[in-house]
Amino acid sequence: MLGVLSNRTYRHLFLAQVIALVGTGLATVALGLLAYNIAGANAGSVLGTALAIKMVAYVVIAPVVGAFANRLPRRAFLVSMDLVRAAVAICLPFVTQAWQVYVLVFVLQSASAAFTPTFQATIPDVLPDENDYTRALSLSRLAYDMESLVSPILAAALLTVISFHSLFAGTVVGFLCSAALVMTVSLPKSPAVEVTGSVYKKTFRGISIYLRTPRLLGLLALNFAAAAASSMVIVNTVVYVESKLGRSSSDVSLGLAAFGCGSMLMALILPKLLDRRPDRPAMLLGASVMTVGLGFGTVVAAAGGRFEWPAFLATWFVIGLGYSMTLTPSGRLLRRSAGSTDRPAVFAAQFSLSHVCWLITYPVAGSLGAKIGMTGILPVMAVLTALGTAAAWWIWPARDPDIVEHEHPAPEDESHLGEGERTARSQHRHPFTIDDRHPTWPRKTKDD
C-alpha cells in the first residue's frame, strides 16, 4: 500500500492531509474547552449549535464551490482555503461570546467544505491508475482513523504543559504546513468547459449528475446506512459506557478506539480485496456487516451481564470494519461516474449529500437515544442501517459496466457517434457518464 507514496505529488498531498487533520483534531478538543470557558454548564448547547452550523456549511457551501472549482487554479485555491482556516484558528482563542464562536466556526467549516471535495477530486488526476488510487483511498481512511485516535491523546499530553488556548496554535501550524506542502507540487489542471445555464443550474450540476447515476444513488443509500451506524458510535459511546455500563470516562476512549481499530484494519485489507472483487459486493457486504453488528449490539445491551463490556467493544470493532468497507471505495465510484470536467462538482455533491445523511441520523441517535435508552436506540439505528443497505441493493444494478451501449438518434450527434465503438446506425458504446450529451442513464446496458 505504501508504494503509492513514491509518487512525489501524492506524497506531499497526503502529508498535507495528515498534518491538517491533526491540527483539526487539536482544534476540536480546544473548541470544547473554549465553549466550557464561555458558557460553563451550557457548553453542550454551544457545541451542539457549532456542530449544526458545521453541517449546514458542509451541505450548503460544497455544491456552490463544486460548481466553479474547475475554473479555478487548484493549487492556489487549496492554499487559499488553508490560509483562511489558519486565520480563523488564530482568532478563536480571543473570542469571548458564543456568537463569535458561531461566526468563526461557519467561516472555518465553509473553507473546509470548499477545500475537501476539491482536494479529493484532485487525487484521481494525480493517480490515474485505479490500483494506485484504491491504495490512496485506503491511506486516506487510515489517516482519518489515526487522527481520531492520536489527536485526543496528543491534546491531553499538550494540556499538561500548556493552556487550551495554545492548542489553537497547533491548528494554525497544521494548516500552514498543509498550505506549504501543497505549494511544493504542481497539480494537474482540470479542463475548463463552460457550463451553460443559470447560476442555479451550475450550482446543482454535481448533485444533478449524482442523482441521475444509478451507482451513485446506491452510494447515497450506503451513505445513509453508514451515517446511521456511525452516529450510534459517535453520539452514544459516552452514554453507553458511563451511564449503562457505569465505567470511567477513560473507557469511552477505548470504545471509540475499538471502532477506529476495526476501520483501520479494514482499510489495510481492502486494496487486495478490491483487486479481486468489484466495488458493489464489497460495499454492500460492509453495510450488511454494520447492520449485523448493530443487531448483535441490541442483543448484548438487552442481555447485560458480566460480559457486556468485552461484547460491546467487539460490537464497535465489527461496526468499524463494516464502516470502512462501505465508505472507503466511494472515491472509485465517483471517479468512474464523472468526466474530469465534472469531477469536482460530483465530489462536492458526495460531500454535501453524505452530510445531509448525518444531519438526519445525528439527532435521531442523540435525542431519541436520550428518551428510550441504549437498549431502545440500538435496534432503531440497526433498522435505519438495514433500510439504507436494502435500498442500495435495490437501486444499484448488479450489472454495472463502465462501457455502456446507448443511442443517439438526433442528427447533430453524428460526429459523436464516431467516438467509441459504433454498434448500429444510431448506437455506439464507450465509458458512460451523465453529461450534457448523455442526460439520462440507458435502461438497458451491455458489457464491453
In CATH, what number is assigned to the domain containing residue 165? Answer: 1.20.1250.20
* Structure letter (DSSP) for residue 244: I
Residue 423 lies in a domain: no
Is 70 exceeded by the pLDDT of residue 269? yes
What's at 443, amino acid-wise?
A: R
Instruction: Report if residue 431 sits inside a domain.
Output: no
Distance between CA 259 and CA 256 in Å, rounded? 5
- What is the separation of C-alpha 286 from the centre of its chain, rounded to a whole number of angstroms? 16
In a domain? residue 432? no
Same domain, yes or no: 238 and 259 = yes
Q: Round to whole Å and give the CA distance between 117 and 123.
A: 10
pLDDT over 90 at 428, yes or no: no
- Which of 192, 222, 239 terminates a domain? The answer is 192
Residues 6+ apart with CB under 8 A from 357: 220, 223, 224, 226, 227, 228
CB 225 within 8 A of CB 319: no
User: Do the Cβ atoms of 397 and 214 come closer than 8 Å?
Assistant: yes
Do 90 and 232 belong to one domain? no
DSSP states of 121-188: HHHHHH--SHHHHHHHHHHHHHHHHHHHHHHHHHHHHHHTTS-GGGHHHHHHHHHHHHHHHHHTSPPP
Report the distance separating Cα 161 and Cα 158, nearest Å.
6
Give the pLDDT confidence score for residue 90 in this predicted structure: 92
Nearest-CA neighbor of 192 among 344, 382, 85, 309? 344
Domain-terminating residue out of 161, 192, 223: 192
Shared domain check, 208 and 279: yes
> Closest Cα to residue 241, out of 259, 254, 257, 227?
254
- pLDDT score at 287: 97
How sure is the predictor about 286, in pLDDT bands with cuts at 50, 70 and 90? very high
- φ/ψ of 408, rounded to 5, equals -130, 85
- 80-91 CB burial, b ≥16 within 10 A, e <16: bbbebbbebbee
The length of the chain is 448
**Tally of domains within the chain:** 2
| Strand 427-431, strand 403-407: pairing | antiparallel
Note whether residue 414 is domain-resident.
no
Mean pLDDT of the chain: 84
Residues 234 and 156 in one domain: no
Residue 322 CA to residue 14 CA, distance in Å, equals 24
pLDDT reported for residue 175: 93
Question: Which residues are CB-contacts of 154 (< 8 A; sequence separation ≥ 6)?
Answer: 22, 25, 26
148/236 same-domain check: no
Q: Are residues 325 and 222 in the same domain?
A: yes
Q: Which three cell numbers stand for residue 337?
A: 461516474
Report residue 307 as a C-alpha cell: 460480559
Residue 407 main-chain phi, psi, to 5 deg: -115, 145
Q: Domain containing 373: what range?
A: 204-395
Query: Tens digit of pLDDT for each residue in 48-69?
Result: 677 778 888 888 887 777 666 6
State which H helix or E strand residue 423 sits in: strand 421-424
Q: What is the pLDDT of residues 91-128, one digit of tens each?
A: 988 888 888 888 998 998 898 888 888 888 888 888 88
Is pLDDT of 365 > 50?
Answer: yes
What pLDDT was estimated at residue 434? 84
What does the DSSP assignment read for 308-342? HHHHHHHHHHHHHHHHHHHHTTHHHHHHHTS-TTT
440 within a domain of the structure (yes/no) = no
State which of 147, 165, 192 marks the end of a domain. 192
The candidate with the shortest Cα–Cα distance to 174, out of 24, 20, 28, 30, is 20
Determine the average pLDDT of the residues in 383-398. Answer: 96
How many Å apart are CA 357 and CA 223, to the nearest integer?
7
Q: What is the pLDDT of residue 319?
A: 96
Do both 244 and 368 map to the same domain?
yes
Would you state the pLDDT for residue 242? 84
94 Cβ neighbours under 8 A, 6+ residues apart: none
The per-residue pLDDT for range 227-260, each reduced to its tens digit, is 999 999 988 888 888 888 988 766 877 888 889 8
Verify that 242 and 171 share a domain, yes or no.
no
pTM here is 0.82
Give tens-digit pLDDT for 138-197.
888 888 777 766 766 677 677 777 777 888 888 899 999 999 999 999 887 765 555 555
